[in-house]
């Protein structure tokens, strides 16, 4: 991806970024009373849960009554919000600043329990007991692929219909395709509408319903084939299960449709969460396209873990050349240092392109081999000089560290610019990387501040 041409002499580091056409403003979004649901989605390992929790906390501290629905939070994060018990009930989070009148509640999804609750709510006691005791049901509800997605959406529907909260923030399951939760209600619906279910129900309905007759011709062949594949006993379990669930299917279907519509409604906002890495942004792009295809309202992209540098006018190449200078003064013609001094006012901020960076001739940055996978660092290689000149050695280390940071920065920018070139319509907010994990409210608040900052915050670090 080529960079934009820049006016010569530009010194604003922010210009090195391809500015997104739109900036995602988090505060107006979460403060707007019309925003009732925020769904955070994205691939695994990009900080989705943390983002959801931070948004919830921020909205609550700005006066809204919020519930955060998390799927599988890291233990310490859950503990920080007081939801280390998995009881499927929203719990009030203590320790937030409630001076604006807001509240924060949090809950962790218990799939099986959610499923059980639906059964209990929709079937009479006897039938419910039959379903809950069915081995097929037990496996289905305990979390095979897909169930988590259905149940997350079901729980969202429940929370919304209780209408106790101003804002529901949902974290989505770390799905293998990251999109399963969108498909879940639809897929369930199409299954429930399908003929298969009638076939499965057939033995329980000898005589059949009106309109089912046409199936009877092939019916025995069908159940015969199913029996052959599944084994007679499993087929019977499945049939008993389906028969017992039959009365509830209408309800299921209606709920699945309602949830899907809820996701498309104006009060819902999707946030795609990603990190500035190739795979994560590729998934994010896929998500953006998919949400558009489904008419789901995308608010924007949260780009987590973006690195910055307070010294980003010093290029990686220049830093490495200087580090070499310090580590091995023997191979460096001393004039180089002086030349640097003489030219100092503008040697390193005139250019941002590696190729064009005017390294003094003696520095020969091409010889620097920091690419080697073992990252062998010169301080060890030249311990003599290092031992005698600890400050020089340290300074060389600082410069190498900086070079590494600048490499990372340019890689992140390339990845990000590629995404933005393909999706200029997407509003973006960037969250600066933190050295460690977040596991308390202070950390979440800090993330919230970073989310809401209107331009990428280059961490000049505390």
Partner 1 sequence: MSRLQVVSGKGGTGKTTVAAALALALAEEGKRTLLVEVEGRQGIAQLFETEALPYEERKIAVAPGGGEVYALAIDPELALLDYLQMFYKLGSAGRALRKLGAIDFATTIAPGVRDVLLTGKACEAVRRKDRNGRFVYDYVVMDAPPTGRITRFLNVNDEVAGLAKIGPIHNQAQAVMRVLKSPETAVHLVTLLEEMPVQETADGIAELRAARLPVGRVIVNMVRPQVLDADALELVATVPRSSVARALSSAGLGGARRGGHAERLVEPLLAQAAEYAERYALETEQRAVLADLDVPLHELPLLAEGMDLAGLYALARQLREQDVS
What part of residues 161-220 is at the interface with partner 1 (CB under 8 A)?
A: 174, 176-177, 187-188, 190-191, 194-196, 199, 218
Q: 10 Å Cβ neighbour count for 97?
A: 13
Q: Which of 33, 133, 143, 250 binds partner 1 (CB under 8 A)?
A: 143
Chain positions 35 to 54 lying near partner 1, rule: CB under 8 A, are 43-46
Backbone angles phi, psi at 35, to 5 degrees: -80, 115
C-beta separation of 310 from 460 below 8 A: yes
255 binds partner 1 (CB under 8 A): no
Q: Does 132 bind partner 1 (CB under 8 A)?
A: no
Residue 238 makes CB contacts below 8 A (sequence gap 6+) with 136, 200, 230
How many angstroms separate the CA atoms of 121 and 44, rounded? 33
325 binds partner 1 (CB under 8 A): yes
Interface size with partner 1, residues (CB under 8 A): 102
Establish if 257 lies at the interface with partner 1 (CB under 8 A). no
Asked whether 153 and 184 are in contact (CB, 8 A), the reply is yes
110 binds partner 1 (CB under 8 A): no
The correct pick among 130, 132, 140, 427 for binding partner 1 (CB under 8 A) is: 140
The Cα–Cα gap between 265 and 36 comes to 10
Work out whether 402 is an interface residue with partner 1 (CB under 8 A).
yes
Which lies closer to partner 1 via its Cβ, residue 30 or residue 396? Answer: 396
Residue entry with tokens 């509003």: 427
* β-pairing verdict for 65-70 and 167-171: parallel
Question: Residue 269 pairs with which residues in a beta bridge?
Answer: 38
Say whether residue 276 binds partner 1 (CB under 8 A).
no
Query: Of 44 and 250, which has the nearer Cβ to partner 1?
Result: 44
Stretch that binds partner 1, among 29-37, 67-75, 287-295, 449-457 (CB under 8 A): 67-75
CB 248 to partner 1: min, Å: 15
Q: Pick one of 117, 277, 446, 449: the residue that binds partner 1 (CB under 8 A).
A: 277
Report the C-alpha gap between 26 and 28 in whole angstroms: 6
Note whether 239 binds partner 1 by CB under 8 A.
no
Q: Which residues contact 410 (CB under 8 A, 6 or more apart)?
A: 316
Report the nearest approach of partner 1 to the CB of residue 148 (Å).
9
Q: Please report, as residue ranges, which positions from 376 to 395 form the binding site for partner 1 (by CB under 8 A).
A: 376-377, 379-380, 390-395
Q: Is 224 in the site for partner 1 (CB under 8 A)?
A: yes
Does residue number 252 form part of the binding site for partner 1 (CB under 8 A)?
Answer: no
Residues 6+ apart with CB under 8 A from 71: 49, 108, 109, 148, 152, 171, 172, 173, 174
């Amino acid at each position: 991806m080529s960079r934009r041409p820049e006016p010569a002499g530009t010194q604003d580091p922010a210009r090195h970024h391809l500015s997104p056409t739109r900036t995602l403003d988090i505060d107006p979004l979460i403060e707007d009373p019309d925003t009732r649901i925020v769904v955070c989605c994205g691939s695994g390992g990009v900080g989705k849960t943390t983002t959801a929790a931070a948004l919830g906390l921020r909205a609550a501290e700005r006066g809204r009554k919020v519930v955060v629905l998390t799927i599988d939070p890291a233990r310490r994060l859950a503990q920080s919000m007081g939801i280390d018990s998995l009881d499927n009930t929203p719990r009030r989070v203590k320790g937030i600043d409630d001076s604006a009148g807001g509240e924060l509640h949090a809950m962790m999804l218990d799939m099986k329990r959610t499923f059980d609750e639906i059964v209990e709510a929709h079937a009479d006691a006897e039938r419910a007991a039959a379903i809950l005791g069915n081995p097929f049901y037990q496996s289905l509800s305990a979390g095979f692929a897909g169930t988590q997605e259905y149940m997350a959406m079901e729980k969202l529907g429940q929370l919304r219909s209780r209408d106790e909260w101003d804002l529901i923030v949902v974290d989505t399951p770390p799905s293998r395709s990251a999109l399963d939760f969108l498909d879940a209600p639809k897929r369930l619906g199409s299954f429930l509408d399908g003929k298969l279910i009638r076939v499965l129900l057939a033995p329980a309905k000898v005589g059949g319903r009106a309109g089912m007759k046409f199936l009877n011709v092939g019916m025995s062949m069908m159940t015969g084939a199913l029996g052959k594949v599944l084994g007679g006993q499993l087929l019977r379990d499945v049939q008993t299960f389906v028969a017992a669930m039959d009365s509830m299917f209408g309800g299921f279907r209606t709920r699945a449709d309602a949830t899907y519509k809820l996701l498309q409604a104006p009060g819902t906002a999707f946030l795609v969460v990603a990190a500035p890495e190739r795979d994560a942004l590729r998934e994010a792009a896929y998500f953006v396209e998919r949400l558009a295809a489904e008419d789901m309202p995308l608010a924007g992209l949260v780009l987590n873990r973006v690195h910055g540098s307070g010294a980003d006018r010093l290029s990686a190449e220049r830093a490495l050349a200087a580090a070499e200078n310090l580590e091995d003064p023997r191979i460096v013609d001393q004039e180089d240092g002086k030349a640097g001094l003489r030219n100092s006012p503008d040697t390193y901020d005139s250019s941002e392109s590696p190729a064009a960076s005017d390294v003094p001739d003696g520095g020969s940055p091409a010889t620097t081999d920091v690419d080697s996978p073992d990252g062998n660092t010169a301080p060890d290689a030249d311990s003599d000089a290092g031992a005698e000149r600890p400050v020089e050695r340290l300074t060389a280390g600082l410069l190498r560290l900086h070079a590494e940071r600048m490499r990372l920065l340019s890689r992140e920018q390339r990845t990000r610019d590629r995404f933005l070139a393909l999706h200029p319509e997407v509003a973006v907010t960037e969250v600066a990387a933190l050295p460690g994990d977040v596991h308390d409210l202070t950390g979440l608040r800090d993330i919230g501040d970073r989310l809401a900052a209107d331009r990428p915050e280059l961490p000049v670090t505390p």
